[in-house]
Structure 1
Amino acid sequence: MQESFVDSAPIRNLLDRAAGLDGDGGDARLKAIMRDLLEATARVIVRHDVTESEFWGAVKYLQDSAGEIGLIVPGIGLEHFMDLYMDAKDAEAGLAGGTPRTIEGPLYVAGAPLVEGPDVNLTVDPDDTTSLYMTGQVRGPDGEPVRNAIMHVWHADSQGWYSHFDPTKEQTPFNNRRRIKLGDDGRYAFRSKMPKGYSVPPGGATDVLMKAVGRHGNRPAHVHFFIEAPGYRQLTTQINFGDDPFAHDDFAFGTRAGLLPVPMRQGDSASITFDFEMQRAVDQEDEKFSTRARLEV
């Protein structure tokens, strides 16, 4: 079957009606997006001669994978694509510089304790592994210290589990999670226990898909950050440990140039010095978080 089948009058009429284009109600932007999405799907079906069994197999996979959508989206590169798209729009608008954005991932939890001080401890549970010390400064585009910044930090434990998502249920709420209120000098310092990279749940929907396309489902050890401050663009980023074996082969495509510090390891401790540079906000919307659904406890 030729792909031009999708351009035939009966199919165009079907797609128009399915997207609601034949009526005045509904959201015009959503209807336009829906129309393009339906056509793209139809073209894939025809181009690859998708069988009825394959079609319904895909539908079942989507039904079964609902609990892992937060892993599947970064795993298939769409979350990283959004970062690249936003970068391209920034460049088009003449906005450049600053610490690179990268994926948030699905494991942020709102409401972590807000703390101050030059030496914040993220890890409250026993964890017999290397200690991590991380320090640096949050600066603006002209090198000025960013005042009144709040740094959200979260990472896994030495087994690769995140508090609130740990299937062992052994972690204290908000273990390895804090919001740090920075001083006028924009400097931060925290200590914790060294996180380990994780893999997607064995046999789960993400694992099934990765294996089907010949890929693995591993992430390197990493630490997540949100940084917010009045007058600056909210920053979503993370560092991947540059000496991790998956540092350049992250299944979630979170690795970006400039975000790969190598910990200085000595005995049972390791340290990282990393400075963040924020862009100035164009308007108040720039200062806000995206409206992505996030866990609140």
Structure 2
Amino acid sequence: MRNLNEDTITQAVIASLGGCGDSRLRTVMTSLVQHLHSFARETKLTEAEWQAAIAFLTAVGHITDDKRQEFILLSDVLGLSTLVTAQNHAKPAGCTEATVFGPFYVEGSPEYAQFDDIANGARGEPCFVSGYVRALDGQPLANALLEVWQADEDGHYDVQLVPEDDGTHAHRARGKLRTDANGRFAFRSILAEPYPIPHDGPVGAMLDALGRHPWRPAHLHFMIEAPGYETLITHVFRDGDRYLDSDAVFGVRSTLVAQWVQQPSGTAPDGSQMDVPFYTLDYDFVLNPKGPGR
């Protein structure tokens, strides 16, 4: 391994991986080394550019914590999240498409009953959401678990707001609920609005340098689980949003675009009386059965 140069370094690094006992890790690292070295050669990477890249990744690490995942944002805006999702979640025709997870999922959200208000004080116009979870053959999936989360009308998720006195964040516009015996779900929340991804950090600076905007079209996040079926991670997007064709994280699928319908004041879907106009969204989900060994 002595006297390596730009023509021999790549094979030397690959040869050093020969003792790796994990064949998949060896395959991934071999390809990574080859592509990284090819990138450096193709672009004639300078030392100053290499140092700037290291500084950028260091800044991404420094701003990342349990409330903000800048590495996921970086993966999202480079299209890597969508690519990995697409190649790992091919589904039969008729199944609901998956899309990116995003950086604002939180474990431990509260569980609600049908028609409960998961907004829990989040700012926004009232919205009633309902639909069914079914199998490909139309069979209703009872007791399926849905996790839902969204931003408020100001574009903020609950974890981005000022914490409570004890340092925790109240769960707002976020929660779990289960389908009934007919596979139906229904809850109250707030109207989905477009919002920018966090752009006050290194990823935002990169977008600005590239002449790109940080905006996402209005959407609701869903994660749906049912025994015997693949977990579905997806969004439902609001039709007519101006950012549908320029989503900063490339997550939009035409099949996931739906109508939020404005209703006049009066009786809401949960039977309550609304003295202001409100919105309704109806959207059904179709889950893909697990294959052998999954």
TM-score band, normalised by shorter chain: 0.7 to 0.9
Once residues 97 and 112 of structure 2 are traced to their aligned partners in structure 1, the CA distance between those partners, rounded to angstroms, is 25
Once residues 20 and 251 of structure 2 are traced to their aligned partners in structure 1, the CA distance between those partners, rounded to angstroms, is 40
How far 1:25 moved relative to its partner?
Answer: 4.5
How far 1:87 moved relative to its partner?
Answer: 4.2
Q: Does 1:80 align with 2:82?
A: yes
Once residues 145 and 200 of structure 1 are traced to their aligned partners in structure 2, the CA distance between those partners, rounded to angstroms, is 35
Moved over 6 A (4+): none
Matches within 5 A, 1:99-178: 99-117=96-114, 119-125=115-121, 127=123, 129-166=124-161, 168-169=162-163, 173-178=170-175
Match of 1:272 in 2: 281
Matches within 5 A, 1:121-270: 121-125=117-121, 127=123, 129-166=124-161, 168-169=162-163, 173-267=170-264, 268-270=277-279
For residues 257-294 of structure 1, the C-alpha deviation after alignment (integer angstroms, 9 at most, x for no partner) is 21111211235311111111111122463xxxxxxxxx
Match of 2:71 in 1: 69
Match of 2:269 in 1: none
How far 1:165 moved relative to its partner?
Answer: 2.9
8 Å CA contact 2:128–2:280 kept in 1: the answer is yes
Deviates more, 1:26-35 or 1:68-77: 26-35
How far 1:26 moved relative to its partner?
Answer: 4.6
Cα RMSD, aligned residues only: 2.0
8 Å CA contact 1:112–1:177 kept in 2: the answer is yes
- Cα distance change of structure 1 residues 172 and 34 upon mapping to structure 2, 3 Å threshold: closer
Aligned length: 268
- Cα distance change of structure 1 residues 110 and 130 upon mapping to structure 2, 3 Å threshold: same
- What percent of counterpart residues are identical? 30
How far 1:248 moved relative to its partner?
Answer: 2.1
How far 1:197 moved relative to its partner?
Answer: 2.4
For residues 27-63 of structure 1, the C-alpha deviation after alignment (integer angstroms, 9 at most, x for no partner) is 3321221121112111111111111101110111011
Match of 1:288 in 2: none
Match of 2:272 in 1: none
8 Å CA contact 1:125–1:172 kept in 2: the answer is no
Once residues 221 and 123 of structure 1 are traced to their aligned partners in structure 2, the CA distance between those partners, rounded to angstroms, is 16
- Cα distance change of structure 1 residues 97 and 27 upon mapping to structure 2, 3 Å threshold: same
8 Å CA contact 1:148–1:230 kept in 2: the answer is no
Deviates more, 1:212-221 or 1:46-55: 212-221
Gaps of 5+ in 2: 65-69, 265-276
Q: Which of residues 255, 266, 290 in structure 2 aligns to 1:281? A: 290
Once residues 224 and 188 of structure 1 are traced to their aligned partners in structure 2, the CA distance between those partners, rounded to angstroms, is 15
TM value normalised by structure 1? 0.84
For residues 97-125 of structure 1, the C-alpha deviation after alignment (integer angstroms, 9 at most, x for no partner) is 311111111111111112222x1211111
Helix, strand or coil: the match of 1:144?
coil
Q: Which of residues 54, 57, 63 in structure 2 aligns to 1:59? A: 54
